[in-house]
Chains A and B, each alone.
Chain A
Amino acid sequence: MQQVQYKFNWKRLVFYVSITLLALVWLVPIFTVFLTSIKSTTDFYSGVGLFEWPDIPQWGNFKNAWIGGRMSMYMRNGLIVCLCKVPLGIFFSSMLAFALTRLNVKRNRAIFIYVLIGMMLPLQVVLIPVNIAYSRLGLTNTYISLIYAYIGFGIPLGTLIFRGFFNGIPKELDQAALIDGCNSWRLYSTIILPLAKPAIATVFIIDFLHTWNEFMVQSVLITRDSMKTVPNGLLSFFGEFSVDYGLLNAGVLLSIVPVLVTYLLFQRYFVYGMSGAVKG
């Protein structure tokens, strides 16, 4: 018995050591970013190694990236787009999923497949027509253009997750509500939606990440610097001839903050909501 106990602990130690080593390797890139963000350009060229702590940590890089590097502006643009897009997207896709699961819509499987296919189309396929349409309408360089486009792109995944979740809510609930005189709008807004908090949290995280991080569509529709969101804004740190790596990496860290906050706020629902999507 004693021996079994001993062997068990030994295995556990190996397990801990190996998973911790893996995690450390996984963190190397972000650690590099941090060490770079507190150095000045001269530190790199005067031979301060990448892993060395600089003589004078350049905390000012963060301030410079925020103001001089215009991160404050890019992040504000990103937040405006996200905070309009995400709630609207949740509203539209949950309604769509509600109709597909609760109202007896004809051909609901066909409609669902029609919507799902959009999730897998490469965005490249819509890039040219959307660009042409927006420039004819004079909508390039506006928030509206981005918000509308992102809502459209986000509907398939949102609908998939909400549909999976709504399917798990017992149908008896509807019947009870209908007997009590609820119409479908009341059923959706006062019964189904409040029950779907994990799904809402999941879609919130995913949509927020996608919108905050989207680069390609944004780089086509937005040409004016003052309207750029974060990914494209970060690229403007690459100057014509040189890059201030300290400043760039400080900008990278700043751009991650909202994403981390969103994840931490909603993460306890996240795995649960995701598995709803997986089960379909």
Chain B
Amino acid sequence: MAPGLLIYSSMVVVPAIYSVVLSFFKWNGIGKITAVGFRNYVNLFTRDTVFQIALKNNLVWIVLTLVFTTSMALGLALMLNRSFKGRTAYRAIFYFPYMLSWVVIGIIWKWIYNPNIGFLDEMLKLIGLGHLNITWLSDPNIALYCVFMAALWQSTGQPMLYFMAGLQAIPHELYEAAEVDGAGTWSSFVHITIPQLRETFVIVFATLVISAMKVYDVVYVMTEGGPANSTQTLASYMYSQTFAFSNLGIGSAIATVMMVVMMVVIIPYVLFTTKQD
């Protein structure tokens, strides 16, 4: 047990604490280090408009992922839960993008959105809408949603598996009893499936919120936070503050904000998962 705990503590816990401490200082990584109290945080929340965009984007992302990724995953799981020929193959197809690196996802979708020769552009031409000529990723109003589409493709597979596992655990008798009582497909879905999946929903929501807070690579590859910072997320902004502008204190403060937001979600989740024994 000891070596595992030691590596984990030295690699995760100690650095995390150090980061929190660092967030109260102003430091460029080489020169003098000065204590600034809460000033990094005050600046972020009151003056820094990019930080506010990034925070808002993360919150929008959470809502999008809870609505679309969850319903997509549940829909697919319901379909794949029936027994039919080729089920394993279909499951593998929908799960497949989850195995790819975010960098690969970014490269693929950036190519799909390519405004001259990309897939979407060619599709629009094919159905005679070529004149629309939407510049997907360079339009600040829609860029974030375009990036989200890529993420939806990547991240549906995992919650789909969770839902499949959850659906298999629902006893058949419940549905049989409902049928005897004259309940239709829809009403047994609302009154049996959804409540029985309660635990699965908790897990899916928690994991989706956590990954929504971490969104970074795919944004970095597809838009680098642009255009005009419209797709900046906390993670990408933290990265550019730290490694492009050498504001280690501000970078640490952003990371700490991310950690705090996540903790609000995580602590109830952790207590929930460890309670059952």
Question: Which A residues form the contact surface with B (CB < 8 A)?
Answer: 12, 15-16, 18-19, 22-23, 26-30, 32-33, 36, 44, 49-51, 92-93, 95-96, 98-100, 103, 105, 109, 111-118, 120-130, 132-133, 148-149, 151-153, 155-156, 159, 167, 209, 212-216, 220, 230-232, 234-235, 245, 248-249, 252, 255-256, 259-260, 263, 267, 271, 274-275, 278, 280
A23 touches which of B94, B99, B210 (Cβ 8 Å): B94
Given known contacts A125-B15, A152-B8, A278-B162, what 19 new A-B pairs fall within 8 Å (CB)?
A19-B90, A26-B96, A32-B108, A33-B108, A95-B4, A109-B274, A112-B274, A115-B5, A120-B210, A120-B262, A125-B255, A128-B15, A155-B7, A213-B100, A216-B217, A230-B101, A231-B103, A278-B200, A280-B276
What 1/0 mask marks residues of chain B from 226 to 266 whose CB sits below 8 Å from any chain A CB? 00000000110011001100001001101110110011011
Q: Verify A148–B7 contact, CB threshold 8 A.
A: yes
For residue B54, give the distance in angstroms from its CB to the closest CB of chain A: 12
B93 touches which of A27, A151, A252 (Cβ 8 Å): A27
Q: Verify A128–B256 contact, CB threshold 8 A.
A: no
Name the A residues within 8 Å of B13 (CB-CB). Answer: 114, 118
Docked pose: A212 CA to B220 CA in angstroms: 18
Q: Could you jot down 5 A-B contacts, CB within 8 Å?
A: A113-B271, A120-B266, A130-B11, A133-B15, A152-B7
Residue among B18, B248, B265 facing the most chain A CB atoms (10 A cut-off): B18
A117 touches which of B5, B118, B266, B276 (Cβ 8 Å): B266
Check: B221 CB closer than 8 A to any chain A CB. Answer: yes
* Size category, B interface: 35 or more
Residue of B nearest to A50 (CB): B122
Q: Verify B111–A36 contact, CB threshold 8 A.
A: yes
Name the B residues within 8 Å of A231 (CB-CB). Answer: 101-104, 217
For residue A192, give the distance in angstroms from its CB to the closest CB of chain B: 14
A99 touches which of B1, B96, B164 (Cβ 8 Å): B1
Docked pose: A273 CA to B80 CA in angstroms: 19
Residue of B nearest to A151 (CB): B7
For residue B84, give the distance in angstroms from its CB to the closest CB of chain A: 7
Name the B residues within 8 Å of A214 (CB-CB). Answer: 101
For residue A36, give the distance in angstroms from its CB to the closest CB of chain B: 7
